[in-house]
Chains A and B, each alone.
Chain A
Amino acid sequence: MLTLQCPYCGVWAEETELHAEGEAHLKRFGPDSDDADFESYLFMRENPKGVHLERWRHASGCGKFFHAARSTTTLEVFGTYSAQTLEPPQDIKDKISAKIPNWSWREFS
């Protein structure tokens, strides 16, 4: 059972307090998009062994959504960060690079 620190209220929350909200940094495609982009937005998800960027919600707490960067294999949490961003912050990317030099996840590395 994971523990993640909510970047909004600062609580180290246990998984039972949180709600998993799927993959991070999805780009929404709307009515003008072509079939391929829309399909990828709706259905194509990463399933990495290693670094993963996810969305969580402090559902039984402050109610805020946030992002988490963690390893699906070692369970290391590289950091949690604001939901109001399109990419992981540099300090978290640096922290991942220090552990896993050639990591990449979608367009981030």
Chain B
Amino acid sequence: MSTRLTTGGRLLNKAKQVTFSFNGKQFTGFEGDTLASALLANDQMMMGRSFKYHRPRGVVASGAEEPNALVNMGQGGKFEPNQRATTTELFDGLTCTSQNHWPSLEFDVGVVNNYVARALPAGFYYKTFMAPAAAWKHVFEPIVRHSAGLGKAPKDRDADRYEHFYAFFDVVVVGGGVAGLMAAKAAGQAGAKVLLMEQTAHWGGRAPVDGGKVDGVKVDDFIDATVAELEAMDNVTLRNRMMGAGVYDHGYILGYERLTDHAPLLDGPRHRLWRIRAKQIVTATGAIERPLSFAGNDIPGVMLASAMRDYIVNYGTSSGDRVVVVANNDDAYRTAFTLKIHGLEVPVILDARPNGGGALADAAREQGFRVENGKGIAKVKGGKRVTGVAICAQAGEGAVLEEIACDAVAMSGGWSPVVHLWSHCGGKLIWDEAQAHFRPDPDRAPTSHDGNAFVVTAGSASGPLKLGDVLVDGQKAGEVAAEAAGFAVTSAEAPKGEVHDEAPLVPCWMMPQGAGPKLRMKAWLDYQNDVKVSDVKLAAQEGYESVEHTKRYTTLGMATDQGKLSNINGLAVLSDALNQPIPATGTTTFRPPYTPISMGAIAGEARDEVFQPLRRTTIHDWHEANGAFFEPVGHWRRPYCFPRGRESHADAVKREINQTRESVGLLDASTLGKIIVKGPNAGKFLNMMYTNMMSTLKVGKCRYGLMCNENGFLMDDGVVARIDEDTFLCHTTTGGAERIHGWMEDWLQCEWWDWQVYTANVTEQYAQIAVVGPNARKVIEKLGGEMDVSKEGLAFMEWKDGKIGDFDARAYRISFSGELSYEIAVPASQGRAFWDALLEAGAEFNIMPYGTEALHVMRAEKGFIMIGDETDGTVIPQDLNMQWAISKKKEDFLGKRAQMRDHMASEDRWKLAGFETEDGSVIPDGAYIVDHGTNANGQRNTQGRVTSTYYSPTLDRGIAMGLIHGGMKRLGDVVEFNKVDGSTVKAKVVDPVFYDKDGEKQNV
């Protein structure tokens, strides 16, 4: 069993007991425990089940690389799945449940997948997609649904707060082990502004567990002294519980700081995402031990040798009473010694190397350990817990020599540097034959804007593993980084760390070397995703030669641990199957983040009201106070309608339209884009921007214009007013103001930079109100003032400056509704007062505001197009029968050449027409006009589609515009629009102008 020891536990505060619950059971632990160590101390080795086969899984590691011990943490608004027990600090009241099981962790129905494992080989998903659809629906989908999903998705809103923090440093050091401490100290002493971050709560990394002396003092004391020195330096910032999540272009690095995960009662944000610019980055990210691939290596109780050591030394917790150690290197002997010192039994050390180990192995024999060279594990015995191992010769095929009872196995396949951060932004790796790992190639570092390296590795992350080498490498990395960041470095001698001679490891990618299919099917590579040696072999056999393809085919390394344990072993197996050296296979791409970070941290403060900036017109408060129902338009919120009392939205829209057409209505049109274009060449410039001729527009007049891109497609429209000889005011759509201003600037700055034109986006400088309806003039006249707004004084498509009442107004006689209409702009500061004045003056005409929906319906009744409805980026003005707005006199305008291309000039293009259903109903949004026959995919042929479709209160029936093959030539035809339920609705092709075809109402 695994239990709490009386010895060890340097990180524990045994005076402070805490209680927590796991799957509803109450347990106790100590302050300083991780969730994993506390569970182990309560003999809870089994912590979850695997993703695909739901096999029982115990904890295998002690840090961020843990693939198995994932739990659902917390409840309600604090619920979060997939939390690693190994990196979760224990606190009083912690509540968690294990994942991937039903109905219980101990008894799981899904484990049946385990017995049909032969039916779920590599590429299972892809293969089933090739099967007949019926098989997918009735056979595979139920199986997959039952087993799919890692953890549970939270249901409640996240109750915590998160924040982003921007920071700038000369040198950022990631990793607070001895190498990182040395690097930070060296860079700090050179005068650099340094940030040192460590993902755990403790400084020193693995060194205190591995032991040894530095300059004659215990490494623990050396670490304390160094941290104290760093804390005393003003130019050095230390942060623990902060992970280097990713390294990006030009020295950008993300730090993920967990502020209250270990103490949820603390005030303040839960996580802080540091968005850092660094001149230089030192990755002192250490190394991760590799598992060994033998049959049954996933049975709870099989653990990394170093992790077992960590649990004893750091947390005073054993993983088993009788532990078999199996390894291909000397480091694992340290675990055997640690086990023995703390009173645990080690029946045998299996050293897979034919000639065994070095000094540490000799010491083991002297201490009376049974050491077997050239031996390995044929098979682990047990189900939910290890009960023993069968020993075999490593060189053979797995013939059992002996069975040994034990309740845990400590395995070590060597160490791989953590190269993730080095690789994120392009750092390259080289294969180190002696250590059998990929390590950073210092000659091919990630480069910054100046072409120079901006990442340097330190300590085990560079490759060396021995304490003395790590200290030297760490100090050197700090010096290199400080110098590259522009600081003078006086090189000092690094502290001397103890170095023991170790015998080289011998790569061991399969145990035993000649394991047959039966053993390979039980040798796990990726524990979380249930990828076995046999799966990778199968992928190779089926022709998957690229490591990136094999990864996706088998899902090797695609779990939340992103292959931290499985990567190298998987590559080695693939290389072996392809009969090529490992460097020829290469690695998959390392992508940020290093370990998963919370969605909350990514969002930061960007939620609710501050999710994105909200643009408000000067009249917005009135809308809000008067019950407006808003819809988002760009960053604006525009009233959709103004429902009164319990009135439905549809009824409100109907009332607003009827009132406007019968008397007078008001529209807040302030959001329309307004761009001033000014200069001696302004007319010439607008002739290029618009399809119309704008240079001939007379001062005092307005003209409706169309804008196309160079592909010929319609991109915006609006009314242009000529203010004076040199000045135009261009209206754009609400969403288009910034885009169209940028578009104009693009051409002025990059193509016609010698033209004398200046543009300014003055959208927010004005409030603009449309006064619309037969009584519009009366309302304005009632306000008084000097402006003559009579038919003669301000004719249709004219504009005028002057006083309306006391307001400084610019009135445009333009109409988007078909009614008598004035769009009146006043300085933004007068907007609200002007709105109030109009409401007061219009009271006797029952004036009322209308929203965007009424605007849309009224324009559709008039057959006016709307950018985004009639256009979708593939529509040219000719499709909308707007030849009248395209100048034939101009030699050039943006889009002209494109509109001459065959396809654009084709008679086969779908063109605009109006539609009236035979039964008066409203055609559904997005409906297509069906045609005879089917296409190559067996889908019904189509001959057009609806673009705008509304109930028209004015006509009391459904009206629509749409594009149809043949366009207006089809007048009178009856066509069928499809509906979601599979039926169709018949409609007649009609003129799209449904209301006041001669335009008499707007021209009074």
Knowing A2-B249, A35-B901, A83-B749, say if A74 contacts B451 (CB, 8 Å): yes
CB of A59 within 8 Å of the partner chain: yes
CB of A76 within 8 Å of the partner chain: yes
CB of B792 within 8 Å of the partner chain: no
CA distance A99 to B426 in the complex (A): 18
0/1 string, A31-65, CB within 8 A of B gives 1 = 10101001001100000000000010101000111
Contacts of B447 in A (CB 8 A): 74-76
Point out the residue from A1, A29, A83, A99 that lies within 8 Å of B252, measured CB to CB.
Answer: A1
CB of B972 within 8 Å of the partner chain: no
Q: Are A3 and B250 closer than 8 Å at their CB atoms? A: yes
Q: Are B252 and A30 closer than 8 Å at their CB atoms? A: no
Contacts of B892 in A (CB 8 A): 30-31
Contacts of A77 in B (CB 8 A): 449-450
Q: Are A76 and B897 closer than 8 Å at their CB atoms? A: no
Contacts of A74 in B (CB 8 A): 426, 447, 451
Point out the residue from B250, B426, B745, B898 that lies within 8 Å of A42, measured CB to CB.
Answer: B898
Q: Are B897 and A1 closer than 8 Å at their CB atoms? A: no
Q: Are B448 and A31 closer than 8 Å at their CB atoms? A: no
CA distance A42 to B896 in the complex (A): 13
Contacts of B901 in A (CB 8 A): 35, 38
B residues 431-454 touching A (CB-CB < 8 Å): 446-451
CB of A28 within 8 Å of the partner chain: yes
Q: Are A42 and B750 closer than 8 Å at their CB atoms? A: no
Give the most central of B250, B446, B750: most A CB within 10 Å: B750
0/1 string, B802-816, CB within 8 A of A gives 1 = 000000000000000
Q: Are B252 and A84 closer than 8 Å at their CB atoms? A: no
Knowing A35-B901, A38-B897, A83-B753, say if A75 contacts B746 (CB, 8 Å): no
Q: Are B745 and A1 closer than 8 Å at their CB atoms? A: no
CB of A21 within 8 Å of the partner chain: yes
Contacts of A57 in B (CB 8 A): 742, 746
Give the most central of A2, A28, A55, A75: most B CB within 10 Å: A75
Q: Are B896 and A64 closer than 8 Å at their CB atoms? A: no
Knowing A35-B901, A63-B745, A99-B451, say if A75 contacts B249 (CB, 8 Å): yes
Q: Are B896 and A65 closer than 8 Å at their CB atoms? A: no
CA distance A92 to B710 in the complex (A): 30
Q: Are B449 and A31 closer than 8 Å at their CB atoms? A: no
A residues 1-31 touching B (CB-CB < 8 Å): 1-4, 14-15, 19, 21, 28-31
CA distance A83 to B901 in the complex (A): 30
Q: Are B891 and A76 closer than 8 Å at their CB atoms? A: no
Give the number of chain B interface residues (Cβ < 8 Å). Answer: 29
CB-nearest residue of chain B to A95: B451
Minimal beta-carbon separation of B427 from chain A (angstroms): 12
Contacts of B250 in A (CB 8 A): 1-3, 75
CB of B900 within 8 Å of the partner chain: yes
Minimal beta-carbon separation of A24 from chain B (angstroms): 9
Contacts of A71 in B (CB 8 A): 451
Minimal beta-carbon separation of A16 from chain B (angstroms): 10
Q: Are A1 and B753 closer than 8 Å at their CB atoms? A: no
CA distance A57 to B748 in the complex (A): 13
CA distance A84 to B447 in the complex (A): 30
Minimal beta-carbon separation of B785 from chain A (angstroms): 37
Minimal beta-carbon separation of B299 from chain A (angstroms): 45
Minimal beta-carbon separation of A9 from chain B (angstroms): 14
CA distance A30 to B426 in the complex (A): 41
Point out the residue from A2, A75, A83 that lies within 8 Å of B426, measured CB to CB.
Answer: A75
Give the most central of B447, B449, B898: most A CB within 10 Å: B449
Point out the residue from B248, B745, B750, B897 that lies within 8 Å of A31, measured CB to CB.
Answer: B897
Point out the residue from B746, B749, B897 that lies within 8 Å of A30, measured CB to CB.
Answer: B897
CB of B844 within 8 Å of the partner chain: no
B residues 580-617 touching A (CB-CB < 8 Å): none
Q: Are B746 and A65 closer than 8 Å at their CB atoms? A: yes
Knowing A65-B745, A65-B750, say if A29 contacts B248 (CB, 8 Å): no
Q: Are A1 and B249 closer than 8 Å at their CB atoms? A: yes
Minimal beta-carbon separation of A19 from chain B (angstroms): 8
CB of B998 within 8 Å of the partner chain: no
Contacts of A41 in B (CB 8 A): 710
Q: Are B451 and A76 closer than 8 Å at their CB atoms? A: yes
Contacts of B426 in A (CB 8 A): 73-75
Contacts of B450 in A (CB 8 A): 76-77
CA distance A72 to B482 in the complex (A): 27
Minimal beta-carbon separation of A18 from chain B (angstroms): 12
Known contacts A3-B250, A59-B742; 13 additional CB pairs below 8 A are: A1-B248, A1-B249, A1-B250, A2-B249, A2-B449, A4-B449, A14-B252, A21-B746, A35-B901, A57-B742, A64-B749, A65-B745, A83-B749
7 A–B contacts, CB within 8 A, in A order: A1-B248, A1-B250, A3-B249, A42-B898, A59-B742, A65-B745, A84-B750
